[in-house]
Amino acid sequence: MTTYCRAPSRWVTVALATLALVGGSLLPVPFERHPSFEGAGPDTLAHFLGYAGFAAALDEALSVEGVGWVLRAALTVGTATGIAVGTGRVQRYVPGRAHERSDVVAGVSGACIGVLWGTRGSARRRPGRIESVTSANDARRTERIPNT
């Protein structure tokens, strides 16, 4: 008997984005912090872009699951804030890393932009389009060719 397994690629994307955010935030830095980076370091833009991408991916995955846009936005920004604050707290124990409020602000701001971008993309889709494509693919996968 043949079974078919569909990989939930949208959730794999979210998992990889989460791993990249947490892993990138917790990598030890081999050099000392430059004194001119008082409020914001050069990685602030990376935080903004990383969290924007994470939020867009999470928003897309939740959209496909049928979650409404208000709940999607709250879940996405809340999750991003939790990750930003959590990794900031753990950075105290990582050599060459320091918790910066500017990184948290950049992360939350990036998440808000990512949600807006993701919501913009999901609003342009026709209702039922994803479901019809998915069910057509499922129908093809479940067709069985008799063994002769």
Q: For 19-30, how does the pLDDT look when each residue is reduced to its tens digit (9 = 90+)?
A: 999 998 888 876
First to last CA, the chain: 15
Task: Please tell me the predicted confidence (pLDDT) of residue 129.
Answer: 44
Answer yes or no: is pLDDT of 38 > 80.
Answer: no
DSSP class per residue in 15-55: HHHHHHHHHHHHS--SSPPPTT-SS--TTHHHHHHHHHHHH
The reported pLDDT for the residue numbered 16 is 93
| Token pair belonging to 35 | 């004194």
Domain ranges of the chain: 9-25+41-135
Flag whether pLDDT at 50 surpasses 50: yes
